[in-house]
Structure 1
Amino acid sequence: MSSKLLQLKLHEAENQLEHTLLDSFQLLKPQLKPPFPLTIPTPSQYSNLNQAILYAILTQPLSFKTHITHLHAIITDGYEYFTSLVSKLVFETYPRLNESVKVQLLSVVRVLVDVSGVGVDGLVVLLMRSIVVGDFSDGNLWLCVELVRIFLDYWDWVLEEWLVLTSGLFTFLRVLSDHCKLSGAKYEALKRMEIDFCVRVIRNHFSLCLRIGRELVRILQDLVCVPEFKDIWKDLLLNPSVFGVDGFSDISQLYCLRTSSRYLLLRITPEMETQLRFLLTHVQWGFQKRYQAWFAKKFFYRPEGETVISDIVRFICCAHHPPNEIIQSNVISRWAIIGWLLTCCRNSHVEANTKLALFYDWMFYNERVDNIMNIEPGMLLMVNSIPTYIDITKNLLEFLLHLVDIYDVQRKDVIVRGVSTTFGVLVKKGVVHSLEVFSSCTLLSPLLKEKLANICSKSALAMRLPHHPLPPPSLPGPSNLEKQTSVSKKPPMVPKGNGMKTISSVLKIPVASHTPPVIHDKNPINIMEDLVRRLGESKKHSKDSGLQILEELLFSYANHGIQSLDSATSANSFLRPEALASQVTKAFCSNGYDMFAPLKSLAQFNSDDEIQSATALVICTYIFSQNKRIQELVLFWSKNGYLVGPRILSYASRLAYEAHKIDRSGTPKDENNFSGISSSETLLLKHHIDKYVSFMTIRGKGSANVIPPASKIDSKQVIELIRGAFTSYRSFLMSCNLEKDTSLDKILISDLMSCCEWEKKRLKEILCNIFSFVPDLSTGKDEFIRLLLEMLDYADIVALQFEICLKSFAIFGEDTDLVSHIIKNSLSWGFVEQQKLWALIGSEQAISKVKVENVVTDFFCLGDFDPNVHSIAVGGLFTLCCRRAPTPELVSTILSLPDNTFETFTASVLANWVVSDGSMLFSSLAKCLDKFDKTGVRINQSSISRFSDFLDKQGKQYTSCLNKLSVSIPKIRAKLANAVAAAQKKADDIPVKRR
């Protein structure tokens, strides 16, 4: 049985509260209609009756007044129990309530406010918590509108409930900072109501606003550009007496007022609070990754969803204080979760706000009124990041000291005193043993340590600066940072002018993570001869030593001048590509390794063959060099039956796959959009960047070109590296084409088939990369599309649809003839393949410039149809036509289609357009009918007759629609009438026997 209250998914069990309400409703349904019984119910009956009435109100909107009257008649407890039911429903289920139920719910709230029901203040606060930060959906904005209206319509009641008033101010100031980013007439009314409410409260009731405390200043910061709030800021800073509060003479007095955690809970939805408390109470170190991934996917998926991160950090610091048994257990710490949250910030503004949220209490800390638990996470995050993740410590410390200098220059002494007190209290209370953990750290700049020392000298606990570095003290919590959240390894960045982040911040590539092979200054030919000899003896050594020798040999071979190398090969046969390839193959074969072996055959080995292997070294060198000799070397292996092409294709695809893991596939729209990815998921990309820097460093020696270190490689350069890998693969295909006299796409499909045998996990990504990076060989080609449909399941197809709609790549292209050709060929495919095909066609053609009218004409010109064979294709075309706008060209094509097996196709498409874009349809119909009159083109009379019948059935709705359409409607009516009359006359002329 479907739920009338909730939007439940198939796998979700029924809600217990809904079940209780429904049982009461079904039990007392006869008593919910007038005349109502006059007996006084027992406590048990009273509870059931409240539950039944609530269910009836929410599910029977037409009887709302009747049920409300019934409710008023039975109330004996000031609506306390009824209000508690509504509050429980909101707390547990609001995001999943049906839209109609939400409308009824807000009507109930108005009734309860009107009668001042017991507990309605808490209910209104709960509804404010249901407003989601960063959510600009119609449902969320509607809730904002309804609540603001309640505040304005019931102003006198709101003034009596000061907690509701201040909670409303806090909530609407916070969401207004998001809503101000929206433009358009539909948002202006909401923004104006929110601004009017907030300004009215601040200007007229500032004494109540002071109860919010220092958080009021923090949330007002993002509204300084709004004229009304800009004036408020001026008064707060320059003329505080204008607010009419006795004793309030400076904003620093507001800084010193601690904010109650009840306000910080307002911007965390109940569902979010539940998940965060579970994460911080039950999840142990090492098991947090899956919970974090789920949380991020659940709450940060919206384009502006990450703006809630600063609110979450405030909640963790100030509203979630775990007891000692949790702190001393193996449960993940608050500071680690905050470190992970910082990595989720893709926008520099959001990241800066999050850091401010972390350190906000530091600036105004007063030991007598503030809680040390509010400042503990910031210190532990900085300290526990030394020395392994020193960038985290450095960035946070720089941000904190920067805050001291610029946050409020006129009251800098207040902030310096607060920060210095914070450091002193953290040491005094034993959160850290001393501040030598900073002063003795050689990885922190002297200037940074000097600034820190100057601030700390203001406190009673001066910072000691030893003459020699001391080991950092032991710290509470896990000392092994590998226990830290797996995605917290990206150091938070202090916002800079251009907002650019380096790729090393995600991949964690050390500044000098790899030492390039040593290329000596003596004769390069002698060096390579020596390396070949040593390589032949490598079976006596370890695998690593053999790889090191091969790397030096390949780098020398690729970076040595081609002309000199050509002249040397005649005298040194070992330098010929075939000879060198044979030597390399023989050397590693003696150790049990096969060059360019299928990856699936290497699954038994622990090492990653695309990283730590001779094959990987050859592929790297080939991609970076494009040297003629290296090309000949690789081609020799290919001609001798080694799977060179599939291995290069797999390598390039894995690079793109790992870059996609950090939002780097394709052309990035936001250079700051980094996702925290564990190092195990980007091993090849890190390796590839490292090798590239080493290779280019050797090549660039003695030249003016300066190669940036791996730590400075940015996103654009990473994308160019990936494109370079696919360009190298194309070069390989062209070389093979010259050798085998086979088309490039045939070689590509052969390599792709080999990859499909051993790359099941990354098959979708490989296919996507083919269409992305080699589109001229794959887009619109039957073989590739057929392979894609055979190998991918429905989940992968859906993922492809999303990528297609985002224009990451195209599968069919914009050649109308090619699309028609694929559709014709697909008629002989299996039903499952056809269904997948049309799912992809529908997604791509929705954003494509392909002329659908030509595709439809080509299809219906095939002749007779078999419903059992062509039904999927016709259904796909129907959906495709309905998605497109009814242009005159497309409408003309649809009207001229013949009636055959699918006789209602034309009428159905026209009927769909009436609903989706009736104005354009009738305008196009007028043009088409005029054109048909002039050219004598035959109209599908039967379909027009069916379409006219459909319009007639619409009744008043259709009449109203016609009245709003263009002046050409009378002509259309006449044309339609003539078409119907012609169809009827034709039917009347048929002899009775034939009927």
Structure 2
Amino acid sequence: MSLKLLQSNTHDAENQFEVLLKEAFELLKPQLKPPFPLTILSPLEYTKLNQAILFGLLTQPQFTKIHITHLHAIITDGYGLFVSLVLKILFELYPKVLESVKIQLIWVSSKLVEVSAVGVDGLLICLMRQIVGGDFSDGNLWLCVELLRIFLNNWDWLLEEQPLVLSSALFTYLRLLGDHYRLLDSKFEALKRMEIDFCVRLLRNHFNLCFRIGRDLLRLLQDLVYIPEFKAIWKDLLLNPSEFNVHEFTDISQLYCSRTSSKYHLLRITPEMEMRLRFLLTHVKWGFQNRYQVWFARKFLCRPEAESVITDIVRFICCAHHPSNEVIQSNVIPRWAIIGWLLKCCRSSHVEANTKLALLYDWLFFSERVDNIMNIEPAILLMVNSIPKYIDMTQNILEFLFQLVENYDMQRKEVLVKGVSTSFDVLVRKGVVPSLEALSLCTLLSPLLRNKFSYISSKSALTVHLPHCSAPPPNLSSQSSLEMRMSVATKLTTNNPKETGVNTSAPVINTPVAPCSPKVIPVRSPIDIMEDLVQRLGEVIKRSIDLGLQILEEILLSYADQDSQSLDAAALASSVLHPEVLACRVTEAFTSNGYDVFPPLSSPTKFDFDNEIQSAATLVICSFIFCQNNRMQELITFWSRNGCLVGPRFLSYASRLAHEANKIGSLRTPNSGNSIIVTSDPVIPLLKNHIDKYISFKNARGEDSPDVYFASKDNNELIVELVQGAFASYRSFLRLSSMSHKENNTSLAKFLFSDLSSCCQSEKKKFKELLCDVFRYLPDLSTGREEFIRLLVETLDYADLVVLQFDICLRRFSIFSEDTDAIPRVVKNSLSWGLVEQQKFWALMEYEQVIFKVKMARVVKDFFCLGLLDPVVHSIAVAGFLRLCSHHVPTPELVSTIMSLPDDNFEGFAASVLANWVASNGLMLFNSLAKCLEKIDNDGDFVFFTPGGKINPSSISRFLRFLDEQGKEHTDCLSKLCTSIPEIKAKLADAAAAAAREGR
């Protein structure tokens, strides 16, 4: 019987990937049985063997131990290639995979977890995505159980090495538990108990990981409040947050303020479903969507229980699929129309309520600084475009929104009013809808609903008080909030009659309906608007620094886009477009309220979120990075010229950006096939903020921008480009600083060193990363320069130096450069440093000069020709040269240089180096000696590769004595060398006589 991976019908074409694996298996079948050949494989052979072993593992269960042992024996890449092959099957073929092969896939995955394979985190996440929501078939439930077993069996390793997998698993199983717990069949009890125990264990013992999920954690938990264990968790979240032992977590409103990353929303959408949805929302035109919707409903929504996945689809569309401007401006069916159709597909009131909550959830806590406007865009467009033909849709969504504001959390109602009012304000201000009059003046809506709408939409972002995230918990004696939250899903469906008999293939709207015509408003020039913003800046900062930063961001964006050519010189001198005028007024607005535009750098135990991310300096730096026209150059130069800490702030920002990017592997594997998910994880807050600013800047300029969630290998490339762009912008800033000080470009290193020194004084915790980034991204300004090297050895301790040695060995950067002329100068100057600094200097020099293959002959000769060497002053340097020469290979040039060194006070140096080479590179040493012999001229004098050098007989005699004492035979060339040079003969004779007298 032919071995197969996939189920297939007679009319199905062969899958090319299955054919590829099978062909590799058939080709290498003789090699898959022990004894395995012990040969070094070429890259192509290695790939083929991985493919063959994978096919054997999946189709030959009886030989799994043999195949897995073979796999372990050949691995040279940390299982990266093998994991990528498994991922391809999971992403592209899993629904068609045979049941027996699925069993093997789980087994193989568990083995890959045991060996901590590269990319196994993505493998586990992909397996979780294959659990289909609303599917209670045996195969789907079996997958739930097997993955839980893998997580529980490897709990400690996941907790330490892959916390993202555990938080993803929590999100997945909380969502699945909402469906599974409603099943009354006793055969599901064991699964439900495993899911409850797993989730409760994470929530109770490791809430710091759960906190990373963000506000959607609460949305999932509210659907489980009827389960006793989760009811208790709800009580503690609302009334006793200290039970979770997370110092930073003091109130549930902190979770409200944390946006959930789109990567979590992808977890409940299978890869096949994601592909179909993205095609529908990217390529299908208005008027042609009906047959695609029919196909999608038959494929994914046909089972009675499958409608629960609609909630996950709506959340995915709102938060994880953000179309480009090109798609938005085309006649492709928009997101809001698909969501309207999905709402009509809901048959149960519970699912409909959860789907509406998924659509409107971000409205409740929306913050322009944290959230993406694309998350709330579908709801407003669905409401506006449903007027008047589908007014019931508009009415139901608005009623549900206002019920949420009234009942979702009565203890924190102001937070909800603030979020919804901000949402309406931003949607109009950003031009998503021209105005709100389509809703406020619509007579088809009930008067009560219009009054509520007018009240909330009129609440300005500046006048509604938002309680601080760490507000005190509610009164323990009041249980109204808790009881309301426990039954929120039921309460929110009482005013929404159930719609039955809806054709799931019917679209909500076939053509967009134009909203009511907006009122004509006098047009103000951009300069007038900008002037108004600058005037209000100080007052707004006094009320709220966060809102002040939002206004500053608008000011900088407008300033970068404005054209000052139309203004004459007199008008420009007093205009807000003049860089000095704008800089002074912005500085005054901040300083008058106790803030600095460029505050001093601090040295906290961890990065200071408020001081480095939420600051005016960050906004100015980001604006300069993304736009370097003349206006932005003059603006940032003015601040720098007037004593502001622009340079140190800029360098610190770029360095931390690179440091956080390294944490997710982006800079170290820029061409990796593994996708990188940019999250709101607290370990990379600045990188996430920088990407958000980049997207906002591109959107504001009407340019196409990437999604917040990057799902291809281009993620790494984009992040690398952003980091490199930050350092390139900093270099531009240095050049501007140099020009403003009337100095030429050769002084850029001087300005860089000044900024680096300032950072060293203030940020010692991150100074190692700063130095590494300077040598890596600005090598022409730092590498081989004495002042940078000395600052390095004076500041860093030995633990930091070890990390630097790792980076040097991996060739990530160079400290001393490969300039043979520059190295002797630095070595000479280092002789006057302290002993500790010299030791660190040579610890780094030893590794770098071996790795980068500097011409050591020249360096050694220049050092030993300095004059008489002092045993006290020069001992560390000579010891460093001894180790350095011993690690280098004995080339003829280096050997001849060593043999020509004078004795001075370190007379045993040359013989010691030669003796070390005998042990490490004996054959090459004597080959080099043979080549040296060829250089003896007719008079018997030795002519070396470096002009003017002659052999030092003392060094050769000591070396020969060493060989005799060790019982090593002399080679012919060495003997010939001894007899050819009279000085050596004499030395050898004297040595023999001395030995005879001593009785040797």
TM interval, shorter chain, is: 0.5 to 0.7
Q: Secondary structure at the match of 1:575?
A: coil
Counterpart residue number, 2:628 = 626
1:621 Cα deviation after fit: 1.5
Is residue 352 of structure 2 the alignment partner of residue 470 of structure 1? Answer: yes
* CA distance in 1 between partners of 2:67 and 2:310 (Å): 29
Partner of residue 936, structure 1: 942
Cα distance between partner residues in 2 of 1:817 and 1:850: 10
Distance 1:916 1:559, change over 3 A: same
Structure 2 residue 817 is matched with structure 1 residue 813:
yes
The alpha-carbon deviation at position 800 of structure 1 amounts to 0.9
Once the two structures are superposed, residues 163-195 of structure 1 have per-residue CA deviations (whole angstroms, 9 ceiling, x without a partner) of xxxxxxxxx9xxx9xx9994499999xx99xx9
Aligned to 1:294: none
Structure 2 counterpart of 1:928, one-letter code: C
Compute the displacement of 1:629 (Å): 2.1
Are 1:878 and 1:905, in contact at CA under 8 Å, matched by a contact in 2? yes
Q: Residue 442 of structure 1: SS of its match in structure 2? A: helix
Summarize deviations over 1:744-765 as a string: whole Å, max 9, x none: 2222211111111221221111
1:639 corresponds to: 641
Q: Are 1:862 and 2:866 counterparts? A: yes
Q: Deviations over 1:401-446 (max 9, x none)?
A: 8999xxxxxxxxxxxxxxx9xx999x9xxxxx98725567523579
- The answer (yes or no) to whether the contact 1:852–1:890 under 8 Å persists in 2 is yes
Cα distance per residue 1:738-790 (max 9 Å; x no partner)? 23345222222111111112212211111111112221111111111111111
Match of 2:315 among 443, 459, 462: 443
Q: Which residue of 1 aligns with 2:592?
A: 590
CA distance in 2 between partners of 1:211 and 1:971 (Å): 59
More deviation in 880-889 or 544-553?
A: 544-553
Q: Report the CA distance shift for 1:799/1:385 in structure 2 as closer, same or farther (over 3 A).
A: farther
Contact 2:541 2:547 in 1 (8 A): no
Q: Given the alignment of the two structures, is residue 738 of structure 1 paired with residue 739 of structure 2, yes or no?
A: yes
User: SS state of the match for residue 814, structure 2?
Assistant: coil
575, 578, 581: which one aligns with 2:577: 575
**1:946 alignment partner in structure 2:** 958
Tell me how far apart the structure 1 counterparts of residues 425 and 918 of structure 2 sit (CA, whole Å). Answer: 64
Alpha-carbon separation, structure 2, partners of 1:802 and 1:789: 16
Q: Extract unaligned runs of 5+ from structure 2.
A: 1-31, 76-95, 131-141, 177-184, 200-209, 221-259, 277-297, 321-344, 356-423, 432-521, 944-949
Match of 2:891 among 887, 904, 908: 887
Give the deviation of 1:468 after TM superposition: 8.2
Q: Say if 1:584 and 1:660 are closer, same or farther in 2 by CA, change over 3 A.
A: same
Are the structure 2 counterparts of residues 872 and 617 from structure 1 closer, same or farther at C-alpha, using a change threshold of 3 Å?
A: same
* Gapped regions of structure 1 (runs ≥ 5): 1-147, 153-171, 223-250, 273-298, 346-354, 359-366, 405-419, 428-432, 449-462, 474-511, 963-968
The answer to whether 1:841 aligns with 2:694 is: no
CA contact (8 A) 1:440 1:471 kept: no
Q: Please give the alpha-carbon distance, in whole angstroms, between the structure 2 residues aligned to 1:371 and 1:259.
A: 26
Query: Are residues 516 and 184 of structure 1, via their aligned partners in 2, closer, same or farther at CA, if it must alter by over 3 Å?
Result: same
Q: Is the 8 A contact 1:574 1:580 kept in 2?
A: yes
Matched, 1:209 2:54: no
* Match of residue 752, structure 2, among 711, 726, 748: 748
**1:902 maps onto 2:902 in alignment:** no
**Alignment pair present for 1:825 and 2:829:** yes
- Contact kept? 1:658, 1:682, Cα under 8 Å: yes
TM-score normalised by structure 1 residue count: 0.54
Opposite residue 614 of structure 1, the aligned amino acid is A
Structure 1 residue aligned with 2:555: 553
- Partners of 1:685 and 1:321 in 2: CA distance: 32
User: Does the C-alpha gap of structure 1 residues 374 and 813 become closer, same or farther in structure 2, counting only changes over 3 Å?
Assistant: farther
Equivalence map 1:510-549=2 (5 Å): 522-538=524-540, 540-549=542-551
Distance between the aligned counterparts of 1:333 and 1:844, measured in 2? 35
Query: Relative to structure 1, is the Cα distance of residues 921 and 945 closer, same or farther in structure 2, using a 3 angstrom cutoff?
Result: same
- Aligned residue runs from structure 1 range 229-268, under 5 A: 255=100, 267=111
- 1:334/1:892 Cα in 2 relative to 1: closer, same or farther (>3 Å)? closer
Change (3 A) 1:373 1:389: farther
Partner of 2:729: 728
Mark the CA change 1:303 to 1:918 in structure 2 (over 3 Å): closer, same or farther.
farther
Give the number of equivalent residue pairs: 655
Task: State the secondary structure of the residue aligned to 2:840.
Answer: helix
Q: Which amino acid aligns with 1:653?
A: S
Matching of residue 801 in structure 1 with residue 805 in structure 2: yes
Q: Over aligned residue pairs, what C-alpha RMSD do you find?
A: 6.2
Separation in structure 2 between the aligned mates of residue 627 and residue 537 of structure 1, nearest angstrom: 29
CA deviation vs aligned residue, 1:490-520 (integer Å, no higher than 9, x gap): xxxxxxxxxxxxxxxxxxxxxx999898599
Question: Following the alignment from structure 1 to structure 2, what is the Cα–Cα distance between the partners of residues 333 and 435?
Answer: 36
Query: How far has the Cα of 1:858 moved from its partner?
Result: 0.6
SS in 2 for 1:547: helix
On the 8 A contact 1:745/1:777 being kept in 2, the answer is yes
Q: Aligned partner of 1:943: which letter?
A: S
User: Partner residue of 1:706?
Assistant: 704
1:398 to 2:270 alignment: yes
What CA distance in whole angstroms lies between the structure 2 residues aligned with 1:632 and 1:871? Answer: 52
Quickly say closer, same or farther: Cα 1:662–1:547, change in 2 above 3 A: same
Q: Distance in 2 between matches of 1:915 and 1:853?
A: 20
Name the CA shift for 1:939/1:303 in 2 (closer, same or farther; >3 Å): farther
Query: Which residue of structure 2 aligns with residue 43 of structure 1?
Result: none
Give the counterpart of 2:875 among 844, 852, 871: 871
Instruction: Tell me the secondary structure at the aligned position of residue 674 of structure 2.
Output: coil
CA separation of 1:660 and 1:339: change in aligned 2, threshold 3 A: closer
User: Residue type of the partner of 2:534?
Assistant: V
The residue number in structure 2 matching 1:650 is: 652
Q: 1:751 and 1:253 mapped to 2: Cα distance?
A: 62
- 1:158 is aligned to none
Q: Secondary structure at the match of 1:668?
A: coil
Query: AA paired with 2:693?
Result: K
With over 3 angstroms needed to count, the CA separation of the structure-2 counterparts of 1:541 and 1:321, relative to structure 1, is closer
Please give the alpha-carbon distance, in whole angstroms, between the structure 2 residues aligned to 1:385 and 1:804.
46
Q: For residues 528 and 126 of structure 2, what CA distance do their matches in structure 1 show?
A: 65
1: CA distance between counterparts of 2:952 and 2:774?
44
Deviations 1:694-719 (A, max 9, x none): 22333x34xxx533344458322222
1:773 corresponds to which letter in structure 2? Y
**TM-score using structure 2 length:** 0.54
2:774 maps to which of 770, 776, 780:
770
CA distance in 2, matches of 1:318, 1:903: 74
What is the distance in 2 between the residues matched to 1:181 and 1:395?
Answer: 40
- Secondary structure of the structure 2 residue equivalent to 1:593: coil
> Are residues 374 and 264 of structure 1, via their aligned partners in 2, closer, same or farther at CA, if it must alter by over 3 Å?
farther
Task: State the Cα deviation string for residues 10-32 of structure 1 (Å, max 9, x = none).
Answer: xxxxxxxxxxxxxxxxxxxxxxx
Structure 2: distance between partners of 1:764 and 1:399: 41
Q: For residues 262 and 680 of structure 2, what CA distance do their matches in structure 1 show?
A: 17
Question: Is residue 942–residue 983 contact of structure 1 (8 Å, CA) maintained in 2?
Answer: yes
Distance in 2 of aligned mates of 1:970 and 1:902: 29
- 1:921 equivalent in structure 2: 925
CA distance in 2, matches of 1:182, 1:369: 50
Which residue is 2:341 aligned to?
Answer: none
- Return the alpha-carbon distance in structure 2 between the equivalents of residues 213 and 464 of structure 1: 51
The structure-2 alpha-carbon separation of the partners of 1:214 and 1:686, relative to structure 1 and needing over 3 Å to count, comes to same
> 2:564, 2:572 within 8 Å by CA — same for their partners in 1?
no
Letter in 1 for 2:954: S
Give the secondary-structure state (helix, strand or coil) at the position aligned to 1:714. Answer: helix
d(CA) in 1 for partners of 2:879, 2:635: 53
Q: Deviations over 1:831-870 (max 9, x none)?
A: 1111111111122112214211100001100111222221
CA contact (8 A) 1:264 1:311 kept: no
Taking the aligned partners of 2:881 and 2:600, their CA distance within structure 1 comes to 42
